[in-house]
Amino acid sequence: MSTIAVRYCTQTGHSKQIAEAIAQRLGVQALDIAEGLKDRVDQLFICNGMYAGMLDKRLKDFLLSDAKNAQEVINVSSSATGLSTRNKLAKLAQEGGYTLSEKEFRCKGAFHFLGKGHPDQDDLKAAADFAQLVARKD
Ligand SMILES: Cc1cc2nc3c(=O)[nH]c(=O)nc-3n(C[C@H](O)[C@H](O)[C@H](O)COP(=O)(O)O)c2cc1C
């Protein structure tokens, strides 16, 4: 039976909402990265946002310390522009010793006048559908 973890790092709550939608669909718990990832898992869905074009420092620290405990890291990001944080996670993968999946989910997340109303119910459903599709079933 494969093991799946869902973690989020959030500044304004969107990543938590998305993580909870994913976790509910997969029947696991969504936890803040502050909880760490000490046990080995097959897949880690890491829900995060983009801030001034960068990753949150707490997320970087988590990626460099705990992400290697997952056989595969799957990026789930939101940003006001809709741009993904995947290339930033990819840059840290070697140093962090983790494997980043080719598969990713991204959606808009409201910030000031950009991405208004997102993530909305459709985004949350799409995130859960994505997770269900890529979650290992073995
Ligand atoms: C301080 C701050 C800086 C942001 N900078 C960017 C940015 O450079 N590019 C972008 O597309 N979105 C930016 N955003 C929007 C966030 O990436 C978006 O709202 C995301 O959904 C936030 O996730 P969170 O609610 O989990 O923190 C920024 C948001 C905040 C709060």
**b (16+ CB within 10 A) / e for 104-123:** bbbbbbbbeeebeebbeeeb
Domain count, the chain: 1
Measured by CA distance, the residue closest to atom 21 of ligand 1 is 109
SS3 87: helix
Provide the domain limits for residue 64.
4-134
- Those residues whose C-beta lies under 8 Å from the C-beta of residue 57, and which sit 6 or more positions away, are none
Q: What is the per-residue pLDDT for 138? A: 81
Read off the tokens for 13.
């709550």
Half-sphere exposure of 33 (CA within 13 A, CB side): 22
Pocket around ligand 1 at a 6 A CB cut-off = 10-15, 49-53, 78-81, 83, 109-111
At 85-138, the pLDDT tens digits run: 999 999 999 999 999 999 999 999 999 999 999 999 999 999 999 999 999 988
Look up the CATH number of the domain holding residue 32.
3.40.50.360
User: Does the predicted TM-score (pTM) go above 0.95?
Assistant: yes
